[in-house]
Amino acid sequence: MKSSSPGKRHSLFEHFRASKMFGKADIIFAAVLLAAAVVAMVFAFGAKPRGNIAEVYIEGKLAAAYSLDQQKTVSFDVGIELHIDNGKAAVTKSDCPDHLCEYFGYISKAGERIVCAPNKFVVVIKGDPEYDAVTGRTQA
Ligand SMILES: [Zn+2]
């Protein structure tokens, strides 16, 4: 901001200082509004987009990655069957004792994941901005 209008800024400051209405509650209200705006922005710009890639991690290491834009069933040595079905992925079979991973159901949004703790198996959906979901081509 240029200092061409110091008088105006000063009077504004004086106004706030003199105003009995501008108290702690107003500051808290302003802070809440600001926080709400930040949250809204996070939702607007950082909202989880539809993912297009399923990354598979076994024992913390990236084991495989599949495009979600297909129908495919993959079996892993750890006893897990991953099903990819046109934009979503699910663990459809697992030999783990709790079968919690099967209850995750299908995931499709970037950032979503399925975890099978007993098998140290994780599926993470990634949204690759380079990947064009409309044409199904990776722009490089
Ligand atoms: Zn499991």
How far is the centre of ligand 1, averaged over its atoms, from the C-alpha of 16 (Å)?
59
Per-residue pLDDT tens over the stretch 15-63: 666 666 568 888 888 999 999 988 887 766 655 678 999 999 999 999 9
Residue 84 burial class via C-beta count within 10 angstroms: exposed 0-12, middle 13-18, buried 19 and up: buried
> For 54-103, how does the pLDDT look when each residue is reduced to its tens digit (9 = 90+)?
999 999 999 999 999 999 999 999 999 999 999 999 999 999 999 999 99
DSSP annotation of 51 reads P
Report how far ligand 1's centroid is from the alpha carbon of 24 (Å).
51
Q: Give all domains of the chain, ordered by start, each with its CATH number.
A: 12-44 (no CATH), 53-131 (2.60.320.10)
